Amino acid sequence: MKRHAPPDTEQQPLPSGFGPETTAEQVVAGANLRGKVFVVTGGYAGIGLETTRVLTKAGATVVVGARDIDKAQAALSGMKNASVLRLDLADARSIDDFAREFLGAHRSLDVLINNAGVMALPELTRDARGYELQFAVNHLGHFQLTARLWPALLNARAPRVVTLSSAGHRFSGVDFDDPNFARRPYDKWLAYGQSKAANSLFSVELDRRGRERGLRAFAVHPGRILVTDLARHLTDDDLKRAGVTRQNGVLTGPGLKTIPQGAATTLWCALSPQLSAKGGVYCADCDISPIVPDDSPSSSGVRLRAIDPSAAKSLWDLSERLTDR
């Protein structure tokens, strides 16, 4: 099916003045975030940890959602204004418990950063509800978390929700007939691509629903990162096809970013005044990405199917049914 860009889309590069080599600290330079409250899921490893570090350095209060409490506390040791709450995005009760604890301690939430995720699980794995795990963790868990934290977001002035998508959204759109691979053969890259397309579509519909209340939402492609736990399931063949090699746990290859560079677009979307009147867009390299056709072979740009308003509404309806929200 041929898709056409929405006539009033904001999905157009600015330009921002930043680029692929911009670091998180450069984005936040000069900002005073004292009194601001952030939630960062998975904010204790990889680009999530860098996100937390830079935010707390600028004075923000950061609550990190973590499945591994001990690892998170060790990683955040010495950071002022950073705390940890247990959060398992594959467990609906854990999500509700996290939200309940947060709301009991904080009246408002300035920015929710849906950072945590899993990638390319080699075998079909399901959560306790029977949902395919990449779709469950990357999208449904964050969908439920956002719904539960909605009251605190609306209590903030100009709140934002930043959800990490990926250039992997080019592998697949959302299969609304069989999102959990109940009938079709499992493919780790189709499953990952579906979850990342869902992250982008979620941001489109969330922004539409929240903008009249002052809330804006953004999807982020952080770039391919040199070292991160997200790549732990990748085989040497996977890396070879991507033109990447692994030596002593370090990935090398063209177009790879450092962790400080990988966290930059997240923080640009969370803080930039350039985006104060925009939202529902997919961003990369600290700018709004250009639109490309669904069949584009390029790893850059955003596919139309990942920003389609009709698909975004359908995904929202499906997500409400699957999470009973």
Catalytic residue positions, numbered = 192
Give burial (CB, 10 Å; 0-12/13-18/19+) of 153. buried
Could you write out the three-class secondary structure of the chain? Answer: CCCCCCCCCCCCCCCCCCCCCCCHHHHHCCCCCCCCEEEEECCCCHHHHHHHHHHHHCCCEEEEEECCHHHHHHHCCCCCCEEEEECCCCCHHHHHHHHHHHHHHCCCCCEEEECCCCCCCCCCCECCCCCEHHHHHHHHHHHHHHHHCHHHHHCCCCCEEEEECCHHHHHCCCCCCCCCCCCCCCCHHHHHHHHHHHHHHHHHHHHHHHHHHCCEEEEEECCEECCCHHHHHCCHHHHHHCCCEEECCEEECCCEECHHHHCHHHHHHHHCHHHCCCCCEEEECCEECCEECCCCCCCCCEEHHHCCHHHHHHHHHHHHHHHCC
